[in-house]
């Protein structure tokens, strides 16, 4: 069955790649594309923005209107825009996939509250490979035990606004949960000055911002005389766009609730 989709932030890097890949997916029909009020592409045709003639859709700033005939919305915008888009999705009773990072605790509570009314899928990273990393990284930490120090290093392009990345935070949260310790008590976000010896169970989280790096994440497990490193490198944004489209098709006919990419991957 064809899923009818609206893409928010359609002129952004992720929005454009989602639109282009969706245009080649026979299971998807794009029925709307939106941008923030005041954006200079409002009223323009999405085909002109993406260079894909098949995307003959006028860009709007009214998600509520655009969502009226949709099954699902994909949202890769920013925290404030995402909150507005969650509200519009709830009002239209349409499922929404959220890939926005940098959401605060309070903003996540709003997202969770919205999921009581409509299906909401949130993931800090839509890549299938990264979601495998989310699963195995904490398992490795538990198997190795307290004698192995855990450090997380992430690298992104120099335009990325939030740090550390949502993916790095999720990795740290998952590992801390597996160790049965609150992340706030054991996280160290970079180090500077005379910080003393490294406490046992600390999770170091470090952010690199340089050039046009799409996204690298490495989890380091360092013990006496050996070190294990697991790295995921994104070669293009298409892995995130493809994951988001897979998530959208999964979510479109689900009941209200909060879902994640593990649900998508585990459903055969």
Q: Cβ contacts of residue 71 below 8 Å, gap of 6+?
A: 3, 4, 5, 94, 95, 252, 253
Question: What pLDDT does 181 receive?
Answer: 95
The predicted model gives 83-105 an average pLDDT of 95
What pLDDT score was predicted for residue 19? 97
For residue 249, the tally of other CB atoms under 10 A from its CB is: 20
Q: List, in order of start, the domains of the chain with CATH numbers.
A: 3-126+237-266 (3.40.50.720), 128-233 (3.30.360.10)
Q: Residue 96: pLDDT band by 50, 70, 90 thresholds?
A: very high
pLDDT tens digits, residue range 207-230?
Answer: 999 999 999 999 999 999 999 999
Q: What is the mean pLDDT of residues 243-251?
A: 96
pLDDT at residue 267 in the model: 77
Catalytic residue ranges: 156, 160
pLDDT at 266: 85
Element (H, E) at 193: none
For residue 190, the model assigns a pLDDT of 94
Report the alpha-carbon distance of residue 204 to residue 171 in Å, rounded: 11
- Residues 175-202 pLDDT 10s: 999 999 999 999 999 999 999 999 999 9
CB-CB contact of 61 with 39 (8 Å): yes
User: What is the pTM assigned to this prediction?
Assistant: 0.84
């Amino acid at each position: 069955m064809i899923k009818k989709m609206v893409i928010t932030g359609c002129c952004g890097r992720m929005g454009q790649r989602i639109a282009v890949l969706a245009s080649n997916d026979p299971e998807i029909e794009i029925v709307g594309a939106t941008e923030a009020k005041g954006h200079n592409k409002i009223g323009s045709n999405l085909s002109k923005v993406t260079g894909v003639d098949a995307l003959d859709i006028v860009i709007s700033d009214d998600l509520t209107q655009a969502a009226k005939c949709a099954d699902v919305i994909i949202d890769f915008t920013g925290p404030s825009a995402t909150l507005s888009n969650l509200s519009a999705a709830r009002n239209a009773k349409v499922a929404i996939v959220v890939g926005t990072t940098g959401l605060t605790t309070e903003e996540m509570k709003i997202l969770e509250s919205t999921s009581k009314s409509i299906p909401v899928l949130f993931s800090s990273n839509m890549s299938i490979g990264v979601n495998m990393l989310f699963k195995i990284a904490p398992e490795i930490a538990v198997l190795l035990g307290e004698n192995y120090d855990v450090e997380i290093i992430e690298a992104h392009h120099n335009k990325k606004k939030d740090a550390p990345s949502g993916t790095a935070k999720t990795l740290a949260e998952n590992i801390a949960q597996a160790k049965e310790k609150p992340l706030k008590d054991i996280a160290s976000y970079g180090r500077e000055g005379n910080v003393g010896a490294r406490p046992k169970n600390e999770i170091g989280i470090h952010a690199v911002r340089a050039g046009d790096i799409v996204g690298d994440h490495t989890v380091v497990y360092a013990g006496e005389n050996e070190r294990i490193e697991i790295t995921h490198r994104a070669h293009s944004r298409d892995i995130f766009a493809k994951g988001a489209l897979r998530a959208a098709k999964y979510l479109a006919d689900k009941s209200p609730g909060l879902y994640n990419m593990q649900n998508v991957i585990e459903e055969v």
